Structure formats: C-alpha cells, structure tokens
C-alpha cells in the first residue's frame, strides 16, 4: 500500500489571527486540486486555531496544533487540553518538537503521555524525534532517535501505531538553512521504519515519517523522493503561501 505523502506547516510562534487568515486565503487556491494525492495541514499558534479553522472550511487543508497538555483537564494554568483542540476542529497535533524538548523540558515520557491523551480525544499525533549536532558528531544519531521512537510508542496498541505520524527533525537542521542530505534523511527514516516493524509489525508500513529541518521549495522534492520519506514538517518556509505550496507540489513528484 502506497502511503499518501503528508506535508504539514508548523507556524511556531508566528502570525496573529488576521495574518493567519490572510495566509490561509493565499494558500488555499494554490493547493486546490492536490487533495487526495497529498495530505496538507497547517499548525498555527493556539490563538489563531479558531480563525484558521473557519478559513480552512471548504479547503482540502487540515488543521493541526503545535502542542497539548498531557492531562484531559484540571488546574493547569496556561495549558490546553486535547478535548479543547478537538472542539476547534483540530485533527493533528505535533508533540515532542525539539524546541519543546530543549526549551521547555519536554521528556520522552511526557511525549508518550501526550500521544495517549491525543488518541483518546480522537486526534492524530505527529511525534517529532531527532538528534542534536553534538549527538550526531558522537555517532549517537540512531541510538537517540530509536530511544525517542521506542519511548513514544511504548504500550500503544498497534492499531494506534498505524495512525501515527513521525517527524524526523535533526535539531542541527532546524532553522539553520542546513538540510540533511537525502542519504542522511533516508538512512534515519529506514532505521525508524525497521524499528516500527519490530515494535508493531505490519502496520509499520502505514506510518508516515516526515522529514523536517530547513525544507525549502528547492530541496523538498528530492527529500520526499526517498522511499521512506513520506512528507515534510515545514517551519520557516510554511509562513509564505507560494513557498509552502511549492513544497506541497514537491510531494507529488
């Protein structure tokens, strides 16, 4: 079964509601007609989710969130639950982004708890994994990524594993303009795929593994042309409609 490629824009802490609406208005006509051949989503900041949900109506673009709290509800000032996201029409949610791991103390265990709470609320997690430059230089890439994947999947029924998306984002490639080479990306993606087979059997074939880290219009097609690169998680280049739509087109080749 061929996996449908999945390209998601991670807007990070950019775009007011007005700017977000404008971006969707510019983007929607550019990706029209690609629905079905490639899955497209955008992940605005929490404050723009409602406005973007409205603007996406009638378009083939899905709504994603950038984070979620691990508990279903409670006294957690400043946090957002999976149920609240579902209520806004959010379909996917990024968890374990390296910025959250590095700057906000997100742990492997916390990521696993978020995966569980998302599935419970009917949302689909996009789990980010990836090594730092120091870890790559120390030859630890495959060990680190394997640990992160194993931990995120621990205890998960294989039916849920099949509905997961993983995003391999080497930390040294994020926002730096340095992209992993296609060979570097494919090597890690293939290792993740083998690990998924070990952990969950046949459904491993259904799991989309996105690449993220300085994906741009001119490198997207080559990266997504690799056998185990099933899409992209795009930061900076997702903030401009023409660039993001060219990346989405790159998934079709």
- Residues recognised as catalytic: 97, 169
CA atoms within 13 A on the CB side of 41: 26
CA angle 129, 243, 99 (to 5 degrees): 25
- Which of 234, 241, 247, 251 binds ligand 13P (CB under 6 A)? It is 234
Residue of 203, 235, 244, 248 interacting with ligand 13P (CB under 6 A): 235
Rounded to 10 degrees, the C-alpha dihedral 112/114/118/123 comes to -90
Using CB under 6 A as the binding rule, the residues of this chain from 185 to 214 that contact ligand 13P are 212-214
d(CA 117, CA 134): 32
**Distance (Å, whole) CA 145 – CA 169:** 10
CB-CB contact of 131 with 171 (8 Å): yes
Q: How far is the CB of 175 from ligand 13P (least distance, A)?
A: 4
Considering the complex, what minimum distance in angstroms separates the CB of residue 198 from ligand 13P?
Answer: 26
CB of 163 to ligand 13P, least distance (A): 20
- Among 106, 131, 160, 169, indicate the residue that binds ligand 13P (CB under 6 A): 169
**Which residue is closest to ligand 13P by CB?**
235
Which residues from 139-158 bind ligand 13P, rule CB under 6 A?
A: none
> Which one of 215, 220, 224, 241 is in contact with ligand 13P (CB under 6 A)?
215
Question: Torsions phi, psi of 58, nearest 5?
Answer: 85, 0
* Residue (131 or 203) nearer to ligand 13P, CB: 131
Report in angstroms how near the CB of residue 172 gets to ligand 13P at its nearest: 10
CA distances for 55 relative to 20, 34, 89, 123, angstroms: 9, 18, 12, 20
- 174 binds ligand 13P, rule: CB under 6 A: yes
Which tokens hold the place of 26? 């510019």
10 binds ligand 13P, rule: CB under 6 A: yes
Taking alpha carbons only, the member of 27, 86, 5 closest to residue 251 is 5
Q: Closest approach of Cβ 242 to ligand 13P, in Å?
A: 16
Min dist CB 96 to ligand 13P, Å, is 11
CB 89 within 8 Å of CB 53: yes
Q: CB of 127 within 8 A of CB of 95? A: yes
Which span sits near ligand 13P by CB under 6 A: 81-89, 100-108, 217-225, 235-243? 235-243
The contact mask relative to ligand 13P for 95-124 (x = CB under 6 A, - = no) is --x---------------------------
Question: Is residue 124 a contact partner of residue 163, using CB atoms and an 8 Å limit?
Answer: yes
Binding ligand 13P (rule: CB under 6 A), the pick from 41, 233, 241, 247 is 233
Q: Name the residues that contact ligand 13P, by CB under 6 A.
A: 10, 97, 169, 174-175, 212-215, 233-237
């Amino acid at each position: 079964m061929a996996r449908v490629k999945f390209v998601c824009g991670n807007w990070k802490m950019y775009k007011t509601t007005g700017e977000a609406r404008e971006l969707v208005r510019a983007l929607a006509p550019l990706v029209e007609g690609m629905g079905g051949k490639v899955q497209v989503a955008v992940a605005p900041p929490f404050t723009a989710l409602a406005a973007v949900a409205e603007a996406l109506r009638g378009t083939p673009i899905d709504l994603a969130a950038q984070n979620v709290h691990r508990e279903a509800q409670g006294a957690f000032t400043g946090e957002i639950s999976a149920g609240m996201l579902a209520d806004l029409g959010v379909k996917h949610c990024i968890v374990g982004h390296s910025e959250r791991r590095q700057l906000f103390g997100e742990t492997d265990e916390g990521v696993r708890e978020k995966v569980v709470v998302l599935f419970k609320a009917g949302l689909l997690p996009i789990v980010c994994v990836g090594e730092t430059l120091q870890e790559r230089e120390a030859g630890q890439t495959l060990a680190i990524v394997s640990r992160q994947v194993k931990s995120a999947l621990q205890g998960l029924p294989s039916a849920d594993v099949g509905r997961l998306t993983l995003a391999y984002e080497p930390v040294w490639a994020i926002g730096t303009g340095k992209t992993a080479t296609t060979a570097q990306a494919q090597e890690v993606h293939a290792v993740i795929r083998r690990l998924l087979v070990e952990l969950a059997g046949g459904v491993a074939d259904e799991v989309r593994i996105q690449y993220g880290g300085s994906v741009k219009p001119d490198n997207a097609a080559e990266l997504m042309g690799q056998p185990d690169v099933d899409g992209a998680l795009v930061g900076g280049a997702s903030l401009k409609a023409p660039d993001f739509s060219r990346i989405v087109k790159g998934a079709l080749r």
